[in-house]
């Protein structure tokens, strides 16, 4: 039986001011998908973290179904969920992007990464109620991305080679839909202008590899002040990260995971992750932590997707 | 008598989605200021375009007064206004930045460009009611800038060497204050997100010299749809610019001047400027046009300010 093995990593969206448009691929945790050709239809088996199993309600199943339209083929997907759902780490996007990449490569579909992104972004509407493409773009392209909301144009950037991230995920679950509903429908003009400049500086910092710009760019007035209410000990966490040497810290996606960025030559991300985790441990709260270099995004049979399609 | 000669160019703010944070220095028109040391106080003489002459109401006079605080010196400024006021070409910022640069260099003040920017931004509050620093930053730093609204951090970028601009200014005057009042106080969320991505792509296009990104980045949903009402024949102008080969066209600052960007190797800006001017000429309307490469910003005695301070 023909099959491919896909690793689809967690991703971190927003990164401060880049609400709904910035994303960065992490190197772990990952969803692992084994995609095999079958007679017809979509069969889904899920292990690891618990997520809906019916192909209609699971993003991997939905995306596979969309890509099979117009073909005679079917696929069986064994999804090992390694990216915790409801964490702010792009769990649904990992499943969607992983399935999209697996089905496209397995069946030799003539699609571009851009087309896969469009399908994944629409799948995300199922998960969050809004067709945002930030996590999916980061997962499909790897590195740092900015994705336009009209037409899903993508700016893909290889982060500076010294950049590392530290992620800490407390044991609280945040529903993406609820986190989105808490945000106002209209943005005060001064917030709009403030966040515009921050987002531009952050992206410029990624492109130029300038720490000053990443530092200045990693704060926002729109989403984080609202969403930090759901992150236990947010202020203490931010203080700990910055004191440990991080360039900045913010909420990952809609949280509750938080992400700090650091320059390896100043302070390895492991140390920053430990300092952040300590904030929870000292208060008797459980958390997970991850750190590493920004990732390459989805890999199919060990190869970066953008090298295949 | 000790004196310096300053050339302070027109600038174009916003450039699409970068509302209040993007600016680019043009190479012409320019304000020319001759600044000389006198016993005490600020004396101002204005020629060229008509602007307020009293030092309290003229930005050059205001900025000079602020910089003289705590010194024993006085200055006489002869300002030859070459940048038309009320045009959207940063006329007030040119006077402010020119005076700031002239006074600082003449008196050997120990100030940084950042500090001059702060004084100029506050002076802009006099002109428009909001302390925006986009034009002043472009004038002081030259090239393309993004300026943060909290603390005035500046991202300064040397535009791609092939970049040219074409500006057409119809004979209509727009008051910056009125143009600002017409904008809503709150930005719909989808507009915020759309413009975030566009601004990031535009800046990335400037940094990387990628035409695709400049093309994608030069549109906005916030200010231009409102302000284009005051620009005669805006749609026809945009069509003409793009048809002539421009990467895009938008309103310069609060208008009514419009600016198109182009890649010299595809189409010289002169041709684009002619195509735009023709739109007005065909309708029997008068306009001015300018074109060239992005400028170096304020020059004092022929030298770029950032090379002096």
More confident residue, A256 or A127: A256
Q: Which two tokens stand for residue A183?
A: 């945000």
Q: What was the ipTM of the complex prediction? A: 0.93
Tokens 């960007």, located at residue: B261
Preceding peptide of A16 cis, ω within 30°: no
Report the range of poorest mean pLDDT among A52-56, A223-227, A242-246, B78-82: A52-56
Tokens 């990260």, located at residue: A241
Give the sheet arrangement for strand A163-170, strand by strand: A248-251, A258-263, A163-170, A287-292
Report the range of poorest mean pLDDT among A115-129, A146-160, B160-174: A115-129
**Residue A250 near residue A215, CB atoms below 8 Å:** no
Q: Which two tokens stand for residue B307?
A: 């090379």
Q: Tell me which residue of B235, B186, B231, B251 sits closest to B17, measured CA to CA.
A: B251
- C-alpha span between B237 and B244 (Å, rounded): 10
- Mean pLDDT across the stretch A135-155? 92
Domains and CATH numbers, chain B: 3-157+295-303 (3.30.230.10), 163-292 (3.30.70.890)
**Residue B242 near residue B248, CB atoms below 8 Å:** yes
- Compute the C-alpha angle A299/A302/A305, nearest 5°: 35
Residues of A with Cβ-Cβ distance to B130 under 8 angstroms? none
In the DSSP assignment, the letter for residue A130 is S
- C-alpha span between B224 and B220 (Å, rounded): 6
Report the range of poorest mean pLDDT among A144-153, B255-264, B269-278: A144-153
Cβ neighbours of B80 (radius 10 Å): 15
* Structure confidence at residue B176 (pLDDT): 65
- C-alpha span between B101 and B75 (Å, rounded): 13
Asked if the model's pLDDT at residue B174 lies above 90, the reply is: no
Asked if the model's pLDDT at residue B6 lies above 80, the reply is: yes
pTM of the model: 0.94
Tokens 């008797």, located at residue: A284
Query: Which DSSP string do the residues of B157-200 spell out, in sequence order?
Result: EPPPTTEEEEEEEES----HHHHHHTS-SEEEHHHHHHHHHHHH
Residues of B with Cβ-Cβ distance to A216 under 8 angstroms? 148, 153
* Dihedral, A130, A131, A134, A140 alpha carbons, nearest 10: 140
Please write the tens of the pLDDT for every residue from B119-147. 999 888 877 777 789 999 999 999 999 99
Strands A258-263 and B154-157: unpaired
Please write the tens of the pLDDT for every residue from A43-63. 999 999 988 887 777 889 999
- Mean pLDDT across the stretch B19-34? 97
Strands A74-81 and A41-48: parallel
Residues 6+ apart with CB under 8 A from A282: none
* Structure confidence at residue B124 (pLDDT): 84
**Residue A186: enclosing H or E segment and its boundaries?**
strand A186-188
* Structure confidence at residue B11 (pLDDT): 98
Q: Where are the beta strands (DSSP E) in chain B?
A: 3-14, 18-38, 41-48, 74-81, 144-147, 154-157, 163-170, 186-188, 248-251, 258-263, 287-292, 299-300, 303-304
Please write the tens of the pLDDT for every residue from A67-119. 999 888 999 999 999 999 989 999 999 999 999 999 999 999 999 999 999 99
Residues of B with Cβ-Cβ distance to A196 under 8 angstroms? 17-21, 195-196, 199
pLDDT band at B287 (very low <50, low <70, confident <90, very high): very high
* Average pLDDT of chain B to the nearest whole number: 93
Please write the tens of the pLDDT for every residue from B197-242. 999 999 999 999 999 999 999 999 999 999 998 899 999 999 999 9
**Residue B157 near residue B143, CB atoms below 8 Å:** yes
* Average pLDDT of chain A to the nearest whole number: 93
Residues 6+ apart with CB under 8 A from A217: A16, A17, A198, A199, A200, A201, A202, A203, A204, A205, A248
Chain A: closest CA distance from residue B159 (Å): 13
pLDDT band at B54 (very low <50, low <70, confident <90, very high): confident
Reported as half-sphere exposure (CB side, CA atoms, 13 A), residue B194 has a value of 14
> Within an 8 Å CB–CB cutoff, is residue A192 touching chain B?
yes
**Residue A98 near residue A33, CB atoms below 8 Å:** yes
| Packing angle, helices B269-282 and B234-243, rounded to 10 | 140
Asked if the model's pLDDT at residue B112 lies above 80, the reply is: yes
- C-alpha span between A85 and A1 (Å, rounded): 30
Tokens 């100043």, located at residue: A266
Asked if the model's pLDDT at residue A174 lies above 70, the reply is: no
Chain A 20-79, CB below 8 Å of chain B: which residues?
20-22
* Candidate ranges A54-58, A149-153, B37-41; pick with highest mean pLDDT: B37-41
* Structure confidence at residue A176 (pLDDT): 65
pLDDT-above-90 percentage for chain B: 83
Contact across the interface for A200 and B149, Cβ inside 8 Å: no
Q: Which two tokens stand for residue B219?
A: 């549109």
pLDDT band at B175 (very low <50, low <70, confident <90, very high): low
Does the annotation count A176 as an active-site position?
yes
- The active-site residue out of A124, A164, A233, A296 is A124
Q: Which two tokens stand for residue B8?
A: 């302070």
Nearest CA in chain B to A21: B197
Report the SS3 class of residue B73: coil
- C-alpha span between B202 and B130 (Å, rounded): 24
- The active-site residue out of A7, A11, A164, A176 is A176
Tokens 């080679």, located at residue: A161
- C-alpha span between B61 and B39 (Å, rounded): 16
Nearest CA in chain A to B197: A148
Chain B: closest CA distance from residue A24 (Å): 15
**Residue B133 near residue B150, CB atoms below 8 Å:** no
The DSSP bridge partners found for residue B300 are: B6, B303
Residues of A with Cβ-Cβ distance to B20 under 8 angstroms? 193, 196
Q: Which two tokens stand for residue B78?
A: 């002869």
From the list B147, B197, B207, the residue facing A148 with the nearest CB is B197
């Amino acid at each position: 039986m023909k099959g491919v093995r896909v690793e689809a990593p967690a991703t971190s969206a927003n990164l401060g001011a880049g609400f709904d448009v910035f994303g960065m691929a992490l190197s772990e945790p990952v969803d692992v998908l084994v995609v095999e050709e079958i007679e017809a239809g979509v069969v889904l088996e899920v292990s690891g973290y618990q997520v809906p199993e019916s192909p209609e309600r699971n993003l991997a199943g939905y995306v596979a179904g969309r890509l099979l339209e117009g073909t005679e083929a079917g696929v069986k997907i064994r999804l090992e969920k390694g990216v915790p759902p409801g964490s702010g780490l792009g769990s649904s996007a990992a499943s969607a992007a992983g399935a999209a990449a697996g089905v496209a490569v397995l069946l030799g579909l003539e699609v571009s990464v851009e087309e896969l992104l469009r399908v994944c972004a629409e799948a995300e509407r199922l998960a969050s109620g809004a067709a945002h493409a930030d996590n999916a773009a980061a997962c499909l392209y790897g590195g740092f991305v900015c994705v336009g909301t009209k037409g899903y144009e993508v700016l893909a950037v290889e982060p500076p080679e010294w950049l590392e991230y530290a992620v800490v995920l407390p044991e609280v679950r945040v529903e993406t839909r609820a986190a989105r509903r808490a945000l106002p429908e209209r943005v005060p003009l001064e917030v709009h202008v403030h966040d515009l400049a921050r987002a531009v500086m952050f992206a410029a910092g990624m492109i130029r590899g300038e720490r000053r710009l990443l530092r200045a760019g990693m704060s926002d007035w729109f989403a984080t002040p609202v969403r930090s209410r759901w992150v236990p000990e947010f202020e203490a966490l931010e203080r700990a990260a910055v004191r440990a040497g991080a360039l900045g810290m913010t909420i990952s996606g809609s949280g509750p995971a938080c992400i700090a960025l650091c320059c390896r030559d100043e302070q390895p991300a492991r140390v920053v992750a430990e300092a952040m985790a300590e904030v929870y441990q000292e208060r008797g709260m459980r958390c997970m932590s991850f750190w590493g270099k920004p990732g390459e995004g989805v890999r199919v049979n060990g190869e970066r997707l953008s090298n295949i399609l």
